[in-house]
Structure 1
């Protein structure tokens, strides 16, 4: 009887999260410098059209791709964070813990900072070409670090050693970025800083042809990792005794998280705290460690929280749009502090 009540409770929470996700998606499309009534947005979403051509252009060319970007990025980062926390058995691990985001930053620094240092021309002067180049450079930089991590994962048996190597790779990447900033022009440094603040508004429909399929395939692959993730909760040695191929499953997890992190960072910049905070919020909400519940739940919760952050960043009264990292950090930082304090109380 108690098991049935628990199952019903989780189903209700799932339903509420889905409703919240849909509501925030509609709010994201409705709000902006030009307000469009929610009922008009809903009719437009189901294909009933809209009376003003101006509204259609705003919805289709700006707000819909931005909202989809936020939802997919939030879901991807949340799933990546959950898998990293389970794999390394570290509540403060996130999808960027292995230095993949730092690799993306290094790739961007190479084309943004070095170009200005070499020929004195800021990459921002190249318009659309500059934007595409930045995205490609971020993806290449992230993939280089990902392949390095995957190579080391086959050599290192200990997850703790792999974690330390990933952190050191991040430090080394940031050191190289610092050197390039020292020799760069002011315009290029500003362009790099703006990219580092993160944004969901830079992914056009053309970029979505890559962004959405890669994130979708990675999220689907995460569903096939539920069983090994649950076994990892018992510890690496116990998982091996149960017949789990630890090296292979670890490699699969790293590939999925690496693709999610590399793609999202390349298109949106290094979005902070979503991958770190959402898994903890979801675990507290569902009161379970079962990944068959947590994996789909963090997808929905992550997408909803990213949409909420995007709404806050575009609230009326702000001059333009706030950097997304400013909003996610304000929400995520208190959650991380609460995790640390809770673990300290358990130890004491």
Structure 2
């Protein structure tokens, strides 16, 4: 196991890689922009082409920031859920947050075909999809929080979350059955995910919610370490099980719910990055895992978004497809290469 002093160097290297991927993500696209042009645009100096400044500051920079925030939020949410439920297959959406968001968006987009024109009129708002997804996630969160007070077994909460996902998925299926082609296409486009549709205000809200979730996660580090050894052991250490469990659920909901609301459901990242991090660092200490999953998650999202942009071509691939295609084989290879998983 690496010594404690070696982690500082590793974090420094990961931070440099994150910055490098951030700059690479901004420079790549249908038009390649040199690093000199990027730094000139940031500093407000004279740039070779004024269109580069607009492209960098108005399109690519917000998208790169969104990729980092989503990578941070989903990766850390996955770590929290895997630790809380002590289940390596748990991800940020096991509580049904993504399903709740999908139901909210489905009602907004496809509800007009089933319930009449009321839902269709709400589509006039530019924030309508975000609001619908947020309401859906929030309602599921309230239900899960209410259940967490009544249920003593943490595993029961996991099962209840999966059942909520099944119920909302069934309702979405009914809505899709009665919807027309245009509504189905719009809903499908949302499920593919997109990092490039956020304005400055939306990006600020997303950043605030993700940072707040990270702060709650740091506050819960002691409880997370104790949960790894079971609730009885955590209780013997003086950990308030209900309070800690609620704090972890709220942190996960803030990060995963906000990311889903603003960019759509992004697969793979929250499930796989914690495993990659554990195999890379060979530790279960959450003081190491919490910052490391954020860094690796941000790097992975930037790399996937760079690939999704298809540099030098006028097309963009769905980010949701890229995260699964690129990430899943990597995790399979890592787990096969190191058969004994740390957990």
Q: TM-score higher than 0.5 here?
A: yes
8 A Cα contact 2:75 2:293, kept in partner: yes
Whole-angstrom distance in 1 between the partners of 2:314 and 2:20: 25
Asked whether 1:275 is paired with 2:274, we answer no
1:84 alignment partner, one of 81, 85, 101: 81
Displacement of 1:205:
1.2
8 A Cα contact 1:26 1:42, kept in partner: no
- What TM-score does the superposition give when structure 2 sets the normalisation length? 0.93
Deviation track 1:220-246 (CA, whole Å, cap 9, x = no partner) reads 221111111111112111100111101
Aligned CA distance change for structure 1 residues 118 and 340 (closer, same or farther; 3 Å) = same
Secondary structure in 2 matching 1:202: coil
8 A Cα contact 2:111 2:120, kept in partner: no
Whole-angstrom distance in 2 between the partners of 1:139 and 1:164: 22
2:296 is matched with which residue? 301
Deviation track 1:243-300 (CA, whole Å, cap 9, x = no partner) reads 1101110000000001111100000100001001111111111111100011011111
Please provide the CA RMSD for this pair: 2.4
2:324 is matched with which residue? 329
Aligned CA distance change for structure 1 residues 168 and 42 (closer, same or farther; 3 Å) = same
Displacement of 1:89:
0.3
2:227 is matched with which residue? 232
| 1:150-299 map, 5 Å | 150-299=145-294
Displacement of 1:319:
5.0
1:33 alignment partner, one of 30, 33, 41: 30
Whole-angstrom distance in 1 between the partners of 2:215 and 2:138: 20
Asked whether 1:69 is paired with 2:66, we answer yes
1:145 is matched with which residue? 140
Secondary structure in 2 matching 1:316: coil
Aligned CA distance change for structure 1 residues 131 and 185 (closer, same or farther; 3 Å) = farther
Displacement of 1:131:
4.2
Displacement of 1:121:
11
Whole-angstrom distance in 1 between the partners of 2:223 and 2:40: 43
Displacement of 1:333:
2.2
Deviation track 1:181-231 (CA, whole Å, cap 9, x = no partner) reads 011111000000110011111111121131111111211221111111111
Displacement of 1:139:
0.5
Displacement of 1:320:
1.9
Asked whether 1:9 is paired with 2:6, we answer yes
1:54 is matched with which residue? 51
Unaligned stretches of 5+ in structure 1?
Answer: none
1:108 alignment partner, one of 105, 110, 135: 105
8 A Cα contact 1:98 1:166, kept in partner: yes
8 A Cα contact 2:107 2:119, kept in partner: no
Unaligned stretches of 5+ in structure 2?
Answer: none
Secondary structure in 2 matching 1:289: coil
Aligned CA distance change for structure 1 residues 67 and 123 (closer, same or farther; 3 Å) = farther
8 A Cα contact 1:18 1:300, kept in partner: yes
Asked whether 1:18 is paired with 2:15, we answer yes
Displacement of 1:12:
2.1
Asked whether 1:44 is paired with 2:35, we answer no
Further displaced range: 66-75 or 329-338? 329-338
Whole-angstrom distance in 2 between the partners of 1:124 and 1:322: 30
